Every structure is written in structure tokens, then in C-alpha cells.
Amino acid sequence: MAEHPGSGDIEPVPNRTKGRTMAGNDLGSLLGSLLGGGGQSGGGGAGGILGSLIGALADGRGTGGGNGSNPLGGLLEMLTRSGLTDQTQSWVGTGGNQSVSGTQIAEALPDETLRQVAQDAGVSPQDAADQIARTLPTAVDRLTPTGSMPEGSLEDIIRQQQL
């Protein structure tokens, strides 16, 4: 009898290849707090979408070489390569943030990554891209208050900015 409960306990562990998704959920909570959470009526809201995106990028799906501990740099690099240099520099810099459209985000992100983020959030890929476009500039701006990308893991950076 003890073997069956033990097998049942062990079986879900290998199926938890979504350890990054849990990290994505944690990141979503942290990002939601960082973004103020006030404008979001849902628990995860845009922070959850960004957490899912960052989690997918940390997993290495669809990135052109992002850093696993700080996939934000990889995301910004990806957006820069897609022609959004001025926008990303404005988010990191200390001046005003330039806007970006959902269409631009959708074109910059790999289709598989955007579909996964949308599925995780329970929205269409275009809705996910629109939410990312609305919240990413503010998130990056708040994570880079000195005008440059801080050192350390993304979770550490987010926690530091919440103080």
C-alpha cells in the first residue's frame, strides 16, 4: 500500500517541468506589485502576463540567447533586434517612455512564445501582446531607475525596487 501513495507522490514531480511556470507565476506576482496592481482587477493581471513571458524566455523558448537569471535583458535585446531600439532605450533611460503597440510586440516575439503566454493567461495572442505593450514600458522603467540594467537575478532586482 505504501508503494502506491509513494508512486503517486513521485509521479507529479517529473511532470512539473513547468517549474519555470511557477517561477513565472511568482514573477507575475512580483511584477504586479511593482506595477502597482491598482489598475488590474484580476489577481495576476498584466503582471501575470509579463511573468509568463519572462518565464518562457527564462526557459529559453524562442529567445535568441537570453540570460536565464535575468531574461529581461534578453527580451530587450530581442525587441531591439526587431527595430524597437528607441522604445527600449527610452524605457531603460531616465526620460519619458516611448509607447509600443501590441502589433509591434507580436512581431518582435516568437509566435510560439506569444501563444504560450496567451494560453497561460487565457487570452488571445493579440490580447496578450496588447497587455505586454501597455505594461512592459512601465515595468522596465521601474526596474531600471538609474538608467541602466541592474546586476543580479530578475527576482532580486524586482524585490529591490519594491522597497
Is the pTM higher than 0.75? The answer reads: no
- Give me the pLDDT at residue 91, please: 94
- Give me the pLDDT at residue 60, please: 63
Mean pLDDT of 34-47: 51
Most confident of 58-62, 109-113, 159-163: 109-113
Residues in CB range of 94: below 8 A, 6 or more apart: 145, 146, 147
Tens of pLDDT, residue by residue over 77-88, are 999 999 999 999
Q: State the first-to-last Cα distance of the chain, in angstroms, to the nearest integer.
A: 50
pLDDT exceeding 70 applies to what percent of the chain? 63
- Give me the pLDDT at residue 81, please: 95
Give the residue among 88, 91, 78 at the shortest CA–CA distance from 141.
91
